Each structure stands twice: as C-alpha cells, then as structure tokens.
Amino acid sequence: MEYTLLNNGIKIPMLGLGTYRIGKTDNDVYRAIRTALDVGYRHIDTATLYGNEAPIGKAIRESGIPREEIFVTTKLWGDDVMKEAVPQAFDRSMQLLN
C-alpha cells in the first residue's frame, strides 16, 4: 500500500474506501467496513450527508484493529461550515465514529 506523509509526520494510506451509498442498511455498511478492514484497508472516507458514521464507528470499534492504525476522513454538511457550527458538527461526527 502506498502512503503520503502529512505535515505532522504521520503517514496516511493514499487509498481509502469511499462509503457513499455503500449499503442500504446500517448492517450492510457495518459488514462492508469490517470486510474492508479485514482485507487491509486502513483509510475510510465518509460524510455527515451519507448518514453512515454510526455503523462505520461500530465496525471500527469491533474490528480489533488498534484505532490509531485507522484513518477516517469525513466531511461537514453545508449548514455546518459556518465558523460557529463547526465545533458542534465535529463533535457529533466524532461521537458517531468513535
């Protein structure tokens, strides 16, 4: 797997699994993420808009893989990009993903 070096010295996998419309149910999402992690994915991409942060978080927690080995990228919903809304949106995503 190829990595890119971030400014803080951490290497992040260049290949990530996109999760937009990855399944019709939370269980579909959960199974897809668990399978991806089992085959070696360590970078998962999601967004508030996708509505799947909770099953992704559950799959990561239950994978047995140390959390510090898994990168999760997510995106804010349009209403949450205003300066005063970002901290709450971030906290909401973190609760679902961790």
Cα–Cα distance measured from residue 26 to residue 22, given in angstroms and rounded to the nearest whole number:
10
What CA–CA distances, in Å, run from 1 to 16, 45, 60, 64?
10, 17, 19, 20
pLDDT digits (tens, 9 = 90+) for 55-69: 999 999 999 999 999
Q: Which helix (H) or strand (E) holds 88?
A: helix 86-97
Question: How many structural domains does the chain have?
Answer: 1
What does DSSP assign to residue 72?
E
Q: How much is the mean pLDDT over the chain?
A: 92
Residue 37 contacts residue 66 (beta carbons within 8 Å): no
Domain housing 10: 3-97
Identify the segments of the chain with pLDDT beneath 70. Answer: none
> What residues are annotated to the active site?
50
